[in-house]
Amino acid sequence: MREIPEHTPLLNGDERPIPPLAAGTIRIIPLGGVEEIGRNMTLVEMGDDIIVIDAGFQFREDDTPGIDYILPNTKYLEERREKIRALFITHGHLDHIGGIPYIIDRIGYPPIYTRELTAVMIRKRQEEFPNLKPLDIHEVKKEDSVKVGNFRVRFFSVYHTIPDSMGIIVETPYGDLVFTGDLRLDHVDGVPTETEEKEFSFFAGRNVLFLAADSTNVERPGFSLPERVVKKNLDEIIATTPGRLVIGTFSSQLERLMRMIEQAERVGRKILVEGRSMKVNIEIVKHLGLLKVSEKTFIDAAQLEHLPDNKVVILATGAQGDEFAALMRIAMKTHKHVKIKKGDTVVLSSSIIPGNERSVQKLKDNLSRQGAKIIHRDTMDVHASGHANRDETFWIHQKINPRFFMPLHGYHYMLRVHADIAKACGRADDEIVVPD
C-alpha cells in the first residue's frame, strides 16, 4: 500500500494562515469527504476543545491487494493535538474508520467513542497494526450522552447498510451541531416508518445551529429503493433457484448479508463465504449475536462437491470485477474450489462504482460464457443504496431544521445539489457553506 500525500484546502483557503479561534466561536473543518466519497473526517473546535468525527480513508474496493489509499489531511489536528478530546465514529465502513490506524498516532491517541459493532470492527482492523499503542475505545449506546471537554455529545440511530450506524449531536451554548453520518430512510412508498419518525422527533423543538449531512445520492429523485424490496427478491431467489446460486455483493452490505444468510438457513441451503473482508465481517456479527444462525449452516469449500447444487449459496466479494476478488477469480477459472457450470445462477447484488463499468462487463461476460445465468440490478431489484435520495434528504432537512448547513460526503457537484435542497428547505445563501 502506498500513501498519496493529498492536499485538502481548508475552509478559508489554505494559503492564508488560519486565524486563532476567537472566543465564543465554533470552528468546523471537514478534513476530507468533500472532493470525493471516502476519507471522511470533520473536526469541531470551540475554546480549548476539539472533537473529531470519523477517520476514513479513500479506497477503491476491499479485497484488492496493492490499492492506493488517501488519508485526510490531519495537519491542523497535529498542530493542536493537546486540544483533541475525543474521536467519534459514526459507523464501521472503511471510509469512516479506515484512517484510524494511520492517523491515531499523529493525533495523540484520543479516546474513541462509538457503538458496539463499530468498536469491534475498529479493534479487529487494529490487529493488523501491531506496532500501534492500544486504542482507548468507549462503547456507547444510542441513548447515552458523553461529556468531552466543554461539549456534551449525544447520538441518534440512522438507517444505513450496517448495524449500529449513528448520527452525532454536539451540544454547544449556541445550539446543536448535527452530523448525520451516512444514512437513508427506512420507508414504505415514500413514507418514512414510525421508527424514523420517532428517531427524528428528537429534533422537534431543539435549537439546531448547524447540520452536516450525506450528499452521496442527492442527485437521484424521489425516495430510494427500499431494502425491503431487495430482501423480498433475494429471499425468493434463495428459496427458488433450482441450481447452484452465487451472490456477489459488497462486504460492507452487512445488513443484507445477514438477511441472506438467515434466509439460506430457513430454506435449507448451506453457505460458503468467499472473500476475506466478507468472512471477517460475518464472523464479527456472529460473535456479537447480531446474526443468529447455526454454525452448521456454513461450509468450507471442500464440502461443496458433496452437496446437491440446490442446497448451496456461495456469497462472494468482487461484484465490481476487481481482479483478485473471489467472484472474478471464479469467473476467470482461477478459483481453487469454485468453478462455474451450466445451470448456475449468479446474482450481482451491487451497484457499479463509476470507473468499474468495463471490469464488471468482463465479469459478466466470463460468467455467462461458462453457462451462468446472471441477475443484476438492471434486470431485477437486487440492490439498493444506503444513501438518501433527494426527497429523503429533503425530509431529513425539514426534521432537523438547522440554522446553518454544510453538505458532506460527495463530489463537489453533489455538494452543490445538496445545497440547493437546503435552499428549498428555506436556508438562505449565507446560511449554507459548501466546502471547496
* Shortest Å distance, C-beta 229 to Zn ion: 20
> Which of 252/401 has CB closer to Zn ion?
252
* Shortest Å distance, C-beta 160 to Zn ion: 6
Does residue 54 bind Zn ion (CB under 5 A)?
A: no
* Shortest Å distance, C-beta 178 to Zn ion: 17
> Which of 43/363 has CB closer to Zn ion?
43
Q: Say which of 95, 182, 214, 344 is annotated catalytic.
A: 214
> Which of 237/415 has CB closer to Zn ion?
415
* Shortest Å distance, C-beta 297 to Zn ion: 27
Active site residue 387: yes
- Residues 247 and 315: their CA atoms lie apart, in Å, by 5
Choices 90-98, 222-230, 235-243, 273-281 (CB under 5 A): range interacting with Zn ion? 90-98
> Which of 85/220 has CB closer to Zn ion?
220
Stated as kind and residue range, the H or E segment containing 403 is none
| Long-range contacts, 425-429 (Cβ 8 Å, 24+) | 425/394, 425/397, 425/398, 425/401, 427/402
Binding string, residues 175-194; x marks residues near Zn ion by CB under 5 A: -------x------------
> Which of 349/401 has CB closer to Zn ion?
349
Q: Say which of 93, 387, 397, 418 is annotated catalytic.
A: 387
> Could you say which residues in the range 229-248 bind Zn ion, by CB under 5 A?
none
Q: Comparing C-alpha atoms, which of 213, 176, 169, 170 is closest to residue 433?
A: 213
362, with CB counted inside 10 A (0-12, 13-18, 19+), is middle
Choices 59-67, 85-93, 346-354, 427-435 (CB under 5 A): range interacting with Zn ion? 85-93
Q: Residue 320 forms beta bridges with which residues?
A: none
* Shortest Å distance, C-beta 93 to Zn ion: 4
Q: Comparing C-alpha atoms, which of 188, 179, 186 is closest to residue 156?
A: 179
Active site residue 412: no
* Helix intervals (H) in 183-253: 194-200, 227-240
Whole-number Cα distances in Å, 246 to 2, 171, 176, 195? 33, 47, 46, 33
Choices 94-102, 303-311, 396-404, 417-425 (CB under 5 A): range interacting with Zn ion? 94-102
> Which of 180/401 has CB closer to Zn ion?
180
Which residue's C-alpha cell is 437513508?
184
Does residue 93 bind Zn ion (CB under 5 A)?
A: yes
Beta strand 345-349 with 373-376: parallel, antiparallel or unpaired? parallel
- Residues 31 and 78: their CA atoms lie apart, in Å, by 12
Residues in contact with Zn ion, counted by CB under 5 A, come to a total of 3
> C-alpha cell of 206?
431543539
* Shortest Å distance, C-beta 203 to Zn ion: 21
Length of the chain: 436
45, 54, 62, 95: which one binds Zn ion (CB under 5 A): 95
Beta strand 26-32 with 41-46: parallel, antiparallel or unpaired? antiparallel
* Helix intervals (H) in 267-389: 276-287, 326-331, 357-369
* Shortest Å distance, C-beta 214 to Zn ion: 7
> Which of 95/171 has CB closer to Zn ion?
95
Whole-number Cα distances in Å, 24 to 47, 383, 430? 7, 46, 20
Does residue 227 bind Zn ion (CB under 5 A)?
A: no
Q: Point out the residues that are catalytic.
A: 214, 387
Q: Where along the sequence are the contacts to Zn ion (CB under 5 A)?
A: 93, 95, 182
